[in-house]
Chains A and B, each alone.
Chain A
Amino acid sequence: MVAIVAAFAVVPLLGGIGLRESLMLGAVYMILALNLNLMIGYTGYVNFGSIVFFGLGGMVGIYTITNWGWPLWAAMAGAAVVVAVLALLLGLGILRLRGAYFALATIGVVEATKAFVANFGLFGGSTGMYINFTAYQPLGGPRQALWVLYFVAVGLLAASLLASYLIKRSRFGLGLFAIREDEDAAMVLGVKAPLYKAIIYSASSILPAMAGVVYFFKNGVIQPDQAFDLTLSIEAIVMMMLGGQATVFGAALGGFAYEQFRGYLLTASAFSSFHLVIAGALLLAIVLFAPGGLVGWLHERWPATRRIFE
């Protein structure tokens, strides 16, 4: 875990700007996959709408930066609080649903939020918000701001890894695993399932919301169609599956590998128009033949690796 973060911190200093851009996107994908893993991998609730945290966090954060002139850290904190509270309230409602019904409801949440934000004048409606160049001055101008934002993203990645690890090792995490295996049995044994589910739903929204602020602040523009892109939400599931659900290392690896793979397919001339086809075929192959993902496969092959890759 420390090695991953250290690699992310050191490599771009040697490799230059192109590599940093790729790693930045990789870090954001890893944050999404790791936090989604808390819901799907740990708790067994298929959240198809995890992107709503990312997008809404970005919207709130960018709004405070452009309209109220908040510094970045305050915007991130503000976005995290707003999104976490909304997620908690929403979670208490939709987490009464189980299985496929919950998955459908989360799709509904994304679409409803996207449609609402696209009509919401305060957030710029369907054209979104643009960030004025002067907003980058406190970070030392646009050029240096990109580096600052990169390291903030790496910091969020480190926080995601740490949170995933600590939750997995905690009593709370065991409660979540119990809910995943059999929710009714878990409740009989004294796990407060509705509360646990709402807390983890809300907790899994905090770091993606902050990542949303960083990501869209770096882009300089935020629009509802990109902020609430259902496809990215499902891609996050693909990343998590690729690496191996319910494992910290797997989700991180999946996010990174998917970003590299996608980048390769998009740039390789032979594949660029077929990248969706290949990604789909890969997903199908994982689902049908290796549902445990890369890490699940490793664990099965060499049980000793279970101790190393949590």
Chain B
Amino acid sequence: MYGILASVINGLLVGAIYGLAGVGLTLIFGVMKVINLAHGAMIALGMFGLYFLAAYLGLNPYAALPVVLAGGFVVGVVVYWIAVHRVIGRAELMSLLATFAVSMIVIGLGTAAWSTSPFNVHVSLPGVSFGGYTIPGHHILASVLAIVVAGALYAFLYYTRLGKGIRAVANNREAAELMGIPSSRLLAVAFGLGIAVAAASGALIATLFPFTILSGASYELKSFVVTVLGGLGNPAGALLGGLLLGFIEGSVTPFISGSWTPVVEFTLFVVILIFFPQGLFRVGRGR
């Protein structure tokens, strides 16, 4: 019984980080209707960013998190102006391919630079024990940080002038433009924020598990599942979707072999897309 409980709790903790990755994806989709296929590559860059900050500059991994966020924002803005800006408002295929091209370039460069061998960031914190099971401290801290980052993003979108501007552009770009909002620049900011959050989730994952440059891909797929669970374009829903996905993973692991988990996840994903394309949750303001 304790075993199942521990597995569920661990699932929820990791789920918060999936949620954060999903928040980045869903923010970009919600604001500019672009599904960012470079998301996994950006998550991987976040992992490596944290690794180099911790290993070479000797920063505490958690102190390096703001640096990763800032770096992710800069990379995101650059990627927006190079690859995304020109395809906004064109057929979906174009933005999907443009972001996929970015992903190929990043993964290609990453593979050339760091090969595909695994890296890891070593952190260890005292955990919480009960009934013979231990919840590691760094899992708890990572999921708390994921929720803090997601909360900060939410506060930014709802309580600052810039955040309100982004939401206005998401609602109706022409009208926002008529109100004097520089919509292209705000789209760049929104893209940068989405990437920053993705990089941060990658950095948090790096403190939990070993990773390679290719690891981003599986988290990208999980981000898709998470955003669809929460409703595409709905950041608060994505966080809940992440927790739900983590809960599902945690609660099925004790009963079926781990290799079946993706079958459950992706079948659920397709079924939910078909029957609940708006997501399972209706949360957040203005809904």
A: residues with CB less than 8 A from B are: 40, 44, 46, 48, 93-94, 96-97, 99-101, 103-105, 107-109, 111-112, 114-116, 118-119, 126, 234, 237-238, 241, 245, 273-281, 283-284, 287-288, 291
Contact = CB atoms under 8 A, between A and B. Distances in A.
For chain A, what secondary structure do more than half of its interface residues adopt (helix, strand, loop), or is it mixed? helix
Given A104-B224, A283-B97, A115 B266 contact: yes
Contact of B97 (A96, A273, A278, A287): A287
A94 B259 contact: no
B35 A241 contact: no
B85 to A, nearest CB: 9
B149 interface: no
Given A46-B92, A126-B259, A284 B108 contact: no
Interface stretch (B99-107, B175-183, B247-255): B99-107
B266 A108 contact: yes
B97 A280 contact: no
Interface stretch (B42-50, B123-131, B139-147, B267-275): B267-275
A225 to B, nearest CB: 12
Contacts of B221: 107, 111
Specify which of A100, A108, A116 lies most central, judged by the most chain B CB atoms within 10 Å of its CB.
A108
B97 A101 contact: no
Contacts of B262: 111-112, 114-115
B83 to A, nearest CB: 6
A288 B87 CA distance: 7
Given A281-B101, A287-B98, A104 B92 contact: no
Given A277-B112, A279-B104, A94 B35 contact: no
Most A CB contacts (10 A, CB to CB) among B94, B102, B108 go to B108
Contacts of B102: 280, 284
5 contacts: A112-B269, A112-B270, A277-B105, A283-B101, A291-B94
A40, A48, A112, A279: which has the most chain B beta carbons within 10 Å?
A112
Nearest to B115: A273
Contact of B266 (A40, A103, A112): A112
A115 B83 CA distance: 32
Interface magnitude class on chain B:
35 or more
Chain A CB within 10 Å, residue with most, of B87, B90, B104, B232: B104
Interface of B: 29, 33, 35, 83, 86-87, 90-94, 96-98, 100-105, 107-109, 111-112, 221, 224-225, 228, 232, 257, 259-260, 262-263, 265-267, 269-270, 273-274, 277
B101 A280 contact: yes
B104 A277 contact: yes
Contacts of A104: 35, 224, 228, 273
Contact of A280 (B103, B257, B269): B103
Given A101-B232, A107-B221, A273-B111, A280 B260 contact: no
A126 B263 CA distance: 13
B101 A108 contact: no
A44 B111 CA distance: 34
B229 to A, nearest CB: 12
Nearest to B100: A234
Contact of B104 (A118, A245, A283): A283
Contacts of B274: 93-94, 96-97, 105
